[in-house]
A and B are shown apart, each in its own frame.
Chain A
Amino acid sequence: MRRSGIASFVLWICLTILTLLPVWWMLVVSMRPRVKLYSKSFLIDDLYWDNFLAVLNSSTFLQYLWNSMIVATSNAAMVCALGLLAAFGLSRYKISGGDNVFFWLITNRMAPPAVFLLPLFLLFTKWFVFGDFMLFDTKIGLILLYCVFNLPFAIWLLKGMLDGIPLELDEAARVDGATTSQVLLHVILPLARPGLAVTFILTWIFAWNEYLFAATLTSSAGARTVTTALAEYVSVTGTNWGEMAAMAFLTTLPALIVLGFVQKHIVTGLTFGALKG
């Protein structure tokens, strides 16, 4: 290895430590019994699992985790399907006013979530009420809601990717007698798969991480998500640092696992004509 190679390697080690430090500290604190909490050592002295057990044994945490899983996965699937259709329409057809629609889509993501909170609260509690069913405090409500910021993102990402697929491929298929849906299913879909995977993962993570809407528009264990559990916990108990850290770690873990599986594909997926604006 040349000298500059070693220098950059050392630099990367430092950066890695800096990146890992907050997460590591979270883990360290989560494994400390109450009496040792104020120790300033960076090391895990012994494996102490009680904080984790306390969190996992609390009556609702696992339920919240499950809710998050359902909401994030359904939302990502829905967003990918609708996003692909919309991106296909925008990329392959000349739509009157298409440019404006495209720009309008992204303005949905621009709004601070607080902008939508009040009207959505009313929408969910007063307007969209069908007999006994209302969207407030349901997983379906959250799944639909997360489309506001995920769908524009997905459409922007996917349009860039579809634009990268040569039009000649569609036309060749059409000459062979394929219908539009066949083109979409047998030509576009296979080619867009890496892009779709990336879109799915990113929207899944966004949905998993969302807090403000979930906190305001749900109230019972049947619909609350894991991020609200963490915030609730902090505001109720204040300084039970060990359990708070354990909870923060458990909240992050599923997303970390997802990252571990897909990391290799993220860059390639994004490269795939992605982010072409």
Chain B
Amino acid sequence: MRQSNIGWLFLAPATLILFVIGFIPFIYILYVGFFDWNTNAVDPTLRWAGLQNYRSLVFDTTFLNSLTRTLVFAFFVVVSELLLGYVLARALMADRLWGRQFFRTIHTLPIVVAPIAVGATWRLLCVPGFGIVPYYLKLWFGIDYNIATNSYHAFATAIVMDLWHWTPFVTLSLMAGLTALPKEPLEQAQIDGGNKLQIFWYVIVPMLKPVLLTTVFIRLMDALRSVDEIWMLTKGGPAEATRFIGLHIWINVFPKTDYGYGAAMSLLTLYVTIVLSWLLFVAMTGRKGGAQ
């Protein structure tokens, strides 16, 4: 590798754009978070509020609940997608599976459907009175499934919808990772007499780590950010059962135009996301801070 700052020359255009569109707004959010600013209020000017926004946030149960709800959702979704994705990836790579290419294509399909269309579609499926899901659940199993009134049903539907939409992504990247694995360590482990579980845990998982890390990272971030699908499916309801943090912030910032408070909320959420990702990074790589 060349010891030179010419490297910066290549990095410059990308960094510049991200600086302007990513970093400057971030600094601005940091600034606005210290102000009391609501354009719908009687006095719509910026007023210095110090740490007031943050102080209120700590006692704001709606905010804390939606944050917790989002974390629970993200945890469920990421763990199930990893397990499911791994099983499916192995199954799709099996030599004896006839029509592999066909199943792969079908399985990849949900990834390309826009979240907003996914939300619309699942709404069509699940809306009480219209959709087939409540109808057949009632007919076949006698379950009164209603996402408009039952919070558990709505939450569960949000999870299932996310699994449907994003498991294929996990499958795909794990498949890529598995294909790239060198064969020798596996054969060596088999010769040494390891059982399937041992081979999986001590040989495959460590070798897959980089891929796993990227996959979990991307999925976790996106699960914590998801807004559109949920918005189309339930509008955050019933009550606040599916009001995830991204949606909560959006509702506070835009329709309500409570900018200062929204900014503080955004920042806190961002910190939670970064800390979580960092912990995950350290836990998975055993390295401290920074990438690579």
Enumerate chain A interface residues (CB-CB to B < 8 A). Answer: 1-2, 4-5, 8-9, 11-12, 15-16, 18-23, 25-26, 29, 37-38, 40, 42, 82-83, 85-86, 88-90, 92-96, 98-103, 105-120, 122-123, 144-145, 147-148, 151-153, 155-156, 160, 167, 180, 205, 208-209, 211-212, 216, 227, 230-231, 234, 239, 241, 244-245, 247-249, 251-252, 255-256, 258-260, 263-264, 266-267, 270-271, 273-277
CA distance A178 to B4 in the complex (A): 18
Q: Which residues of the other chain, A, contact B292 by a CB distance below 8 angstroms?
A: 99, 102, 277
List of A residues within 8 angstroms of B107 by Cβ: 15-16, 19
The answer to the question of B82 belonging to the interface, with a C-beta cut-off of 8 Å to chain A, is no
Q: Whole-angstrom distance from the CB of B9 to the nearest CB of chain A?
A: 7
Report the separation of the CA atoms of residues A10 and B221 in the bound assembly, to the nearest whole angstrom. 34
A94 touches B116 (CB 8 A): no
The answer to whether A19 and B164 touch (CB under 8 A), given A102-B291, A119-B28, A252-B112, is yes
* Neighbouring B residues of A266 by C-beta, 8 Å: 108, 172
Known: A12-B97, A110-B224, A111-B225. 4 other contacts (CB 8 A): A94-B2, A111-B273, A259-B105, A270-B172
B7 and A118 contact, CB distance less than 8 A: no
**What are some 20 contacts across the A-B interface (CB < 8 A)?**
A8-B96, A12-B91, A22-B121, A85-B10, A86-B10, A89-B9, A90-B10, A92-B1, A94-B2, A94-B7, A119-B29, A123-B21, A144-B17, A230-B117, A231-B116, A231-B231, A248-B124, A267-B175, A275-B211, A277-B291
Say whether B210 faces chain A, with CB atoms less than 8 Å apart: yes
Q: Give the docked Cα–Cα distance between A226 and B213 (Å).
A: 33
Q: CB-nearest residue of chain B relative to A89?
A: B10
Using a CB–CB cutoff of 8 Å, the interface residues on chain B facing chain A are 1-11, 13-15, 17-18, 21-22, 24-26, 28-29, 32, 88, 91, 94, 96-99, 101, 103-118, 120-122, 124-125, 129-130, 132, 135-136, 164, 172-173, 175-177, 179-180, 209-211, 213-215, 217-218, 221, 224-225, 227-228, 231-232, 245-246, 249-250, 253-254, 259, 262-263, 266-267, 269-270, 273-274, 277, 290-292
Main secondary structure of the interface of B (DSSP, over half): helix
B residues less than 8 Å from A101 (CB atoms): 11, 15
Q: Is the CB of A25 within 8 A of B267?
A: no
> A25-B121, A89-B8, A275-B214 are contacts. A8–B14 as well, Cβ < 8 Å?
no
Query: Provided the pairs A22-B164, A115-B29 are in contact, do residues A144 and B21 lie with their beta carbons within 8 angstroms?
Result: yes
A114 with B266: CB separation less than 8 A = yes
Contacts of A105 in B (CB 8 A): 14, 18
Pick from B3, B22, B122: contact of A116, CB below 8 A.
Answer: B22
In the complex, what residues of A have CB within 8 A of residue B106's CB?
16, 19-20
How distant is the Cα of A4 from the Cα of B98 in the complex, in angstroms?
12
Q: Verify A227–B18 contact, CB threshold 8 A.
A: no
What is the CA–CA distance of A273 and B176 in the complex, to the nearest angstrom? 9
The answer to whether B124 and A25 have CB atoms under 8 Å apart is yes
Q: A95 to B225, Cβ gap below 8 A?
A: no
With CB as the reference atom, state the residue of chain A lying closest to B228.
A211
Q: Give Cα A151–Cα B14 distance, bound, in whole angstroms.
A: 7
For residue B8, which residue of chain A has the nearest CB? A95
Inter-subunit contact B115/A211 (CB<8 Å):
yes
Interface centre among B109, B117, B266 (most CB of A within 10 A): B117
Which B residues are CB-close (under 8 A) to A227? 114, 116-117, 228
Determine the chain A residues whose CB is within 8 A of the CB of B96 once the complex forms: 1-2, 4-5, 8
Which 9 A-B pairs have CB atoms at the shortest separation, nearest pair first?
Answer: A93-B7, A89-B10, A119-B25, A270-B176, A277-B210, A114-B249, A209-B114, A115-B266, A255-B112
B81 to chain A, nearest CB (A): 14
Q: Which residue of A lies closest to B284 (CB)?
A: A277
**CB-CB < 8 A to B132: which residues of A?**
25, 40, 42
Across the interface, do A117 and B246 meet the contact criterion of CB distance under 8 Å?
no
Cα distance A123–B263 when bound, in Å? Answer: 15
Please state if B225 and A113 are interface contacts (CB–CB under 8 Å): yes
Inside 8 A of B231's CB, which chain A residues have their CB? Answer: 231
Q: Which chain A residues lie closer than 8 Å to B249 at the CB level?
A: 112, 114-115
B24 close to A123 (CB less than 8 A): yes
With a CB–CB cut-off of 8 A, which chain B residues contact A239? 130
